Amino acid sequence: MSHKKLRQGLIETCIAMNESGLNQGTSGNLSHRIEGGMLITPTSMPYDQMKNDDIVEMAFDGTVTGKHRPSSEWRFHRDILRKRSDVNVVLHTHSVYCTTLATHGRGIPSFHYMVAVAGGTDIRCAPYACFGTQELSTVALEALKDRTACLLGHHGLIVLAETYEKAMWRAIEIETLAKMYVHALAIGEPPHLSEKEMAQVIEQMRRMAYGDAPDLDKVKDTPKLPVARSASVAPDTKAEKPARQYPKALKVKVTVKSPANSATKLAPVQGTVAGKAVAPKESAKTVAAPKAASPKTRSTKALATKATTPAKKTIASKKKATTEAAPVATGSAATSFKSLVGSALSRRK
């Protein structure tokens, strides 16, 4: 089975026609162009029961492929698609207000500017012809000249479009216009826009269809669309800050020897500071290690002094106090002291 997507779209559009109120039961029909022919709804089959293989494939020469007969209106579907290369979809419906006007043989005049959605200044109504006949196809083609929609006398509506979606949109717009016109007629025939006014509307719609802003007054007061960015240019973003670099921890090695030793050596310091290498020192300094206090007594320590007289010093201890005697001066200092004493005694005599 070919054209699966088109077949499914055709079924979905038919169901949407009934759900929107554009059609009732199986009275409408729909077709889509394929190479050398068309896909069309089968005759007398409810839309909600249709499957993809129920859709009929029909060539322009009338050859049918499938298990069902095509819609009874296949003639005007075939003739329109064969002669109108600008469209792909033919939608036929018995919408209420369009059919109301068609029963009076009345088309929709330019009472409202949206009449231009059918491609001209009005929407014509074809003369009556029996359904399923070549005559009906002929009068329909005439009413559709330079138009994408027409009414069929005492029958309904035909809409042409490039896609299913556009066909549905146009059918709803025209049914709405028909409703407005019927209500307007309750007051009397409404005034019509002139040929010149409708030509301006048609030009506006043409420009918009091609993506141009309507500016028939040529005042150049149109929306300023943003300039498309190049695909290679990334949108503005805050520059990411580089991760903060922290210096590596200093590696320090300290060797502590027993208190009996008089000194200990510190190992060279190696590492990096703020990303800069630190070289080891040429030689380690010798640092005098403090003597550990004995739990019973403290060791005596020589006091360096220039005093010439004996001195005593008491050192407080948390557990036990000991008195340390200062060494007696000897040598030249002692001789000088004796001389002073002898001189003082001789004077007393």
Q: Which residue has the higher pLDDT, 180 or 346?
A: 180
- pLDDT in the model for residue 221: 66
Separation of alpha carbons 24 and 26, rounded Å: 6
Separation of alpha carbons 273 and 246, rounded Å: 9
In tens, the pLDDT along 167-186 reads 999 999 999 999 999 999 99
Cβ-based neighbours of 109, under 8 Å, separated by 6 or more: 115, 122, 181, 192
- Ramachandran sector of residue 211 (left: φ over 0; alpha: ψ -120 to 50; beta: rest): left
Separation of alpha carbons 92 and 89, rounded Å: 10
Separation of alpha carbons 17 and 276, rounded Å: 80
- pLDDT in the model for residue 72: 95
In tens, the pLDDT along 126-149 reads 999 999 999 999 999 999 999 999
Mean pLDDT to the nearest integer, 279-294: 48
In tens, the pLDDT along 48-91 reads 999 999 999 999 999 999 899 999 999 999 999 999 999 999 99
Q: Work out the mean pLDDT of the chain and round it to a whole number.
A: 78
Catalytic residue set: 73
Give the whole-number percent of the chain exceeding pLDDT 90: 57
CATH of domain 4-209: 3.40.225.10
Please say if the pLDDT value at position 33 is more than 60.
yes
Separation of alpha carbons 146 and 199, rounded Å: 14
Query: Which segment, 181-195, 224-238, 287-301, is predicted with the most confidence on average?
Result: 181-195
| Short-list 147, 151, 172, CA closest to 160 | 147
Please say if the pLDDT value at position 210 is more than 60.
yes
Mean pLDDT to the nearest integer, 317-343: 51
Q: What are phi and psi of 30, to 5 degrees?
A: -150, 145
In tens, the pLDDT along 81-105 reads 999 999 999 999 999 999 999 999 9
Separation of alpha carbons 270 and 251, rounded Å: 6
